[in-house]
Amino acid sequence: MRFVFLWLCAILFSGVVYGESDRDSLKVRLGAPRLNLGDPVLLTDSIPGAFIERLDELYSKWYVSKLEEGNYVDSVYLTEMVTGPAVPDSVYLQRLDKLNSAIKLSYNDIVRNYIELYTVRRRAQVGTMLGLSSYYFPIFEEVLDRGGLPQELKYLPVIESALNPRAFSRAGACGLWQFMYGTGKMYKLEINSFIDERRDPVKSTEAAVCFLKDLYKIYEDWILVIAAYNCGPGNVNKAIRRSGSKKNYWDIYFHLPKETRGYVPAFIAAMYTFNYHKEHNIFPLENELPTMCDTIMISDALHFEQVAKLMDISVEQIRDLNPQYRSDIVPAGFGKSYALQVPYNHVGEFIDKQDTIFAYNRNTYFNDSDRTADPKNRFKKYAHAHAVPSNKAKLVYTVKSGDVIGKIAEKFNVRLSDLKYWNGMTRDRINIGQKLTVYVPHNKVDYYKSKVNAKYAGVAANAEVEAESLTEGEFFYYTIKRGENLWTIAKKYPGVSNRDIMKWNGLTDRSAKNLKPGQKLKIKI
């Protein structure tokens, strides 16, 4: 009897050990990741909270506001809380098999969790995405077909962006396909202050197709390609190495980043939900996107309001159809054209009115008056603002200790910009002993000469001021001060170099090095 009891304990213990070992090895047989009827649940990972948070974030940024406007069918609200009876695993398996997908659709407990997330907990989001899919899916399908890729890949933007072209992640990914800035540039997407082609449904899909093709060349397995699309090929390669060079997604599952573990199950769940939404009493929500659109090539700058004011179409709808334009402006011109999507029934109207549309309030939206072909003429346009006055006397002011250029301008009642222009200055920095040219009215010369001799910042200025006795091309004598050299002296006079001073004073390189304080130099102004 004792022997029988020990024998039974040994059997039970071995069963426990075997079960734990199975759990650690994913409980998935190689090449058979499906859940067969009667088998225990294979994978039990829960849905990461970050995924649900991200889904809610994508949904709330754009769609909730529209939902509050009442643009959707009332029946959806009735189905929001309808959960229905639990669906058996056998039904899920049967439905996935009927999809006849080119991409292998596995089923396990994790996939089931994501299916229930979409069909039970996030029914409103699914309804919104179903409505949007009628507009975006034909775009995806055409580009995928042209690239020879499986049509099932059109469900990737569902989990990437919730079909929101303006989606922007905390990591910096943007658009329907969530391209990072560097990856977008790598695949020739234009990104600047006016346009972000990561948000362009057509251009971003074309870039995604190229990216997916490159990934398939590496793995030759669409499930691994989908995983690599999310976390990058580097992380997938590391997972393969750590799993002992296994190339089955479920074999490398626990070696992948946590967020990527749910990515493939979410893809399978999204594909299931979009094909069997009616079975779960979920129906598409209405939206303002037209069923048919056409492309108009724009060759000159155009503002959305110019179109909206002269056509029966709102700015909001133009934005929804053209999310790639950041500032409601099509930045065309200078030989470069850009596409503008408009509802199909408005194409003829736009063609008929295009001259009027482009001309409408042109100067308000685009001020072309400053555009000139000749830079010299452009300079002349602004040169008058600081031009040297011909009817005023010129004073030469020597900067003293405590002087600030703004206070000097105030003292002579001139604009700071004028004072800097007259002296060829680009910065506000001035040096003690520096000569500044100032222009004042002829009848105020004596007034300003006396004014600059007043106390300044507690320090006696004793300013050296010369009246307009010197004219252009004449010489005056400069007294060298302690610590000065030809270079520092030349800096005080715009357009004067140290070689000019040497020439005017007959100095050689040797004699220029032996200048002494108190020595006078001729300077031509």
Give the model confidence (pLDDT) of 357-393 as tens digits. 998 988 888 876 555 555 545 444 444 455 566 677 8
DSSP SS3 for 361: coil
Say if residues 393 and 468 touch (Cβ distance below 8 Å): yes
The continuous run of DSSP H or E covering 486 comes out as helix 486-491
3-state secondary structure of 396: strand
Distance between CA atoms of 323 and 197, rounded to whole angstroms?
A: 9
| Helices marked H in 99-167 | 109-116, 123-147, 156-161
Here the tokens at position 322 are: 């053209």
pLDDT given for residue 496 in this prediction: 77
302 DSSP assignment: E
Cα separation of 176 and 198, whole Å? Answer: 8
Q: Give the pLDDT confidence score for residue 283 in this predicted structure.
A: 93
Residue 504 gets which letter from DSSP? H
For position 256, what pLDDT does the model report?
A: 93
pLDDT at 397: 83
Report which of 440, 442, 391 is spatially closest to residue 419, judged by C-alpha positions: 440
Tell me the two tokens of residue 323: 């999310």
Return the SS3 of 50. Answer: helix
Closest CA to 156 of 131, 136, 170, 184: 136
Q: How does pLDDT run across 221-233, given as a tens digit for each residue?
A: 999 999 999 999 9
Nearest-10 Cα torsion for 441, 443, 445, 448: -80
Annotated catalytic residues are 160
Strands across the sheet with 465-466, in order? 435-440, 393-398, 465-466
Query: Nearest-CA neighbor of 365 among 318, 331, 412?
Result: 331
Q: What are phi and psi of 322, to 5 degrees?
A: -130, 60
H helices within 172-262, ranges in order? 181-186, 201-219, 222-231, 233-242, 258-261
Q: Domains in the chain, start-ordered, CATH in brackets?
A: 49-280 (1.10.530.10), 293-370 (no CATH), 384-524 (3.10.350.10)
| Residues facing 496 on adjacent strands | none
Q: Give the C-alpha distances (Å, rounded to integers) separating 100 from 35, 138, 144, 267, 272.
A: 17, 20, 18, 15, 12
Contacts of residue 482, defined as CB under 8 A and 6 or more positions apart, other chains included, come to: 517
Residues 6+ away with beta carbon under 8 Å from 309: 360, 361
DSSP annotation of 410 reads H
Residues paired with 457 in a beta bridge: none
Return averaged pLDDT per consecutive 10 residues of the chain, 525 residues in all: 50 43 35 39 60 64 44 35 69 93 92 92 90 93 96 95 88 92 94 94 96 96 95 94 92 90 93 95 87 90 93 90 94 89 91 90 76 51 54 81 83 82 79 84 77 39 40 66 80 75 80 79 77
In sign, the C-alpha dihedral spanning 121, 124, 127, 133 is negative
DSSP alpha helices (H): ranges in 41-174? 49-68, 75-79, 89-98, 109-116, 123-147, 156-161
Kindly state the helix (H) or strand (E) to which residue 343 belongs, with its residue range: strand 338-343
Is the torsion defined by CA of 273, 278, 282, 284 positive or negative? positive
